[in-house]
Chains A and B, each alone.
Chain A
């Protein structure tokens, strides 16, 4: 079962912050985050494995709330290079990884 991402799309001006949410109707044991730029393959951002875990690099970070069965990706002081589609992925049943439908992020000058 696909995780649900929100919002579906967001437009930001450079320097603004954004939050992308990923939730599941089933228990979450791990969450992957990937970014795909237009015309390219998805690229790994980070994996969260434990409830309460937070990770980040540069100005992109994520948190994982097991109890709420959700993860959030935080983009701080967005740059033009952050534009793309962000996907979360979670295990589902016997399938090791199922992706959500993605959140399209557009950063404008």
Chain B
């Protein structure tokens, strides 16, 4: 089954404790992206990747890191989480047509993160 998986689905942690949220897709998509969703603010992009070893900042990259060493995986790393990073996180992937997205974006199920 074609899908985007995220782990963990729920996480409660404390300020400053490094964590990684994994994202994996089995559709051979070039494009992968991370979003955070907060009430009233919609889906804000954190980082995106157009292909392996190519990553770019989105609108809200501060406090996050990503890497794209393999096509299927795009982990999100919080080196020192803070309470303002409490949010619902979505990973997504898509095929790429030239430099834009001409195909649908598939979303993972989401990871709800709480930082105390």
Contact = CB atoms under 8 A, between A and B. Distances in A.
Q: What bracket does the count of chain B residues touching chain A fall in?
A: 20 to 34
B108 A96 contact: no
B42 A87 contact: yes
Q: Which of B31, B40, B104 has the most CB of A within 10 A?
A: B104
A29 interface: yes
A2 B42 contact: yes
A47 B103 contact: yes
B48 A47 contact: no
B102 A30 contact: yes
Q: What bracket does the count of chain A residues touching chain B fall in?
A: 20 to 34
A43 B42 CA distance: 14
B35 to A, nearest CB: 8
A48 to B, nearest CB: 11
A98 B101 CA distance: 11
B56 A94 contact: yes
Interface of B: 31, 33, 35, 40-45, 48, 50, 56, 58-59, 90, 96, 99-110
